[in-house]
Amino acid sequence: MNKPLPLTLPLQLSRDVDTAGDRAALYGRVRRGELVAVVRGVYVEARLWAGLDRHDRQRLKSAAVNATATEPLVFSHASAGALWRLPRAGNWLQKEHALVPIGGTQSTTLITRHQVQMPVDVSVIDGLAVTGLARTVVDIAATHAFGEGVVAADAALRRAQHPHPDVPNERITKDDLRTTLRLLDLRHGSARARRSIEFADGLADRPGESLSRVNMHLAHLPAPELQVVVYGASGRRYVADFWWPHCRLIGEFDGAFKYSDPEFMQGRTAHQVLLDKKKREDDLRAAGYSFSRWDMGIAVSPERLRAHLVQAGLK
């Protein structure tokens, strides 16, 4: 889980510097590398910036854009996705996205403004106005590739059972997404969004699992059951990421988070996590299950994932 964005991070705006001496001091700190430009004219302490992951940096960028805006913004699309703490498979986009009233300010090199009938369903996260969770997912699914849309939709649906502590507790269903898509009546991307929504499944636990499902589908592999309880030879209970009952094959996405995420590690060292995984796999194999494990490099490729699973016994 990402750490919460430290909202106390002070943003320094060049427009707020009144005197020539203060401006010279500000730009001197920039030249010395003590300040980092979040966006043009908005700076933050370099030592604080260095401690943020790519998701927190994206959220801070939204805050910086909001601080320089001349009109109220409702962040949308991928910008809202970052604020909602929805995962993203690829890099964050260079431009922010926001909704503004029809006839409002035009887009710039910094922000894409989507002119819509206002008001819209708005939530507030980190002090910023954002589109509601269902609208955010639909907008992402309509404007991004299938895999990215499914990653967002899976994570949003999962919130119904596993709410995120840093955002409003909006619990949505697939029907909510369908209704939102219908009401938006999009000119472009409606078929793309519908495909991601129908494929989405809140049982997918992580982005790597969502991408694995997408590429199993693209590779024309049998669809697995998700998060299924299985028992080892010892009688111990486990939950399998993927399960193909017709060939007794268990599949697991082995992401790097398993060796660094405190929520998953639960006080164990990376070495202990590795040993525990080996014991778990040995126990399941002893119970007559086949077992396949893969990382992100395989998950993102339909061809590599197909070859990997067929070799493990998937039919």
- Tens of pLDDT, residue by residue over 146-166, are 999 999 999 999 999 999 999
**Secondary structure letter of residue 14 according to DSSP:** G
Contact 115, 128 (CB under 8 A): no
Residues 280 and 236: their CA atoms lie apart, in Å, by: 9
Q: Of 140, 43, 41, nearest to 92 (Cα)?
A: 140
The average pLDDT across 46-75 equals: 92
The average pLDDT across 105-129 equals: 87
Q: What's the pLDDT tens digit per position in 213-249?
A: 999 999 999 999 999 999 999 999 999 999 999 999 9
Residues 184 and 26: their CA atoms lie apart, in Å, by: 45
Q: What's the pLDDT tens digit per position in 168-187?
A: 999 999 999 999 999 998 88
pLDDT tier for residue 256 given thresholds of 50, 70 and 90: low
| pTM of structure | 0.88
Q: Using the predicted structure, report yes or no on whether residue 1 has a pLDDT greater than 50.
A: no
Residues 24 and 29: their CA atoms lie apart, in Å, by: 9
CA of 166: how far to CAs of 86, 88, 125, 148, 154, in Å?
Answer: 11, 17, 8, 22, 18
Q: Using the predicted structure, report yes or no on whether residue 263 has a pLDDT greater than 70.
A: no
Contact 78, 140 (CB under 8 A): yes
* pLDDT of amino acid 5: 45
Mean pLDDT, the chain, rounded, equals 90
Residue whose structure tokens are 């401690």: 51
Domain boundaries, the chain: 53-202, 208-312
